[in-house]
Amino acid sequence: MKAIVAFPVFLVVVVLDQISKLVAEATLAATPQPVFGEWLRFALVYNPGAAFGLHLGPYSRWIFMGLTAGALVILSRLYRQTEDGDYRRVLAIGLVAAGAVGNVVDRIRSEYGVVDFIDIGFGIHRWPTFNVADIAVSGGAMLLALVLWNEERREGELAEAARAQAAAPSDTADYAP
**Catalytic residues, which ones?**
116, 134
Question: Rounded to whole angstroms, how far apart are CA atoms 62 and 121?
Answer: 31
Nearest CA among 45, 39, 15, 48 for reference residue 117: 45
Beta-carbon-side half-sphere exposure of residue 116 (alpha carbons within 13 Å): 20
Q: What is the torsional sign of CA 137, 139, 144, 149?
A: positive
- Backbone phi, then psi, for 60, in 5-degree steps? -50, -45
Question: Rounded to whole angstroms, how far apart are CA atoms 17 and 14?
Answer: 5
C-alpha triplet 153, 155, 156: angle, nearest 5°: 65
Residue 1 burial (10 A CB sphere; 0-12, 13-18, 19+): exposed
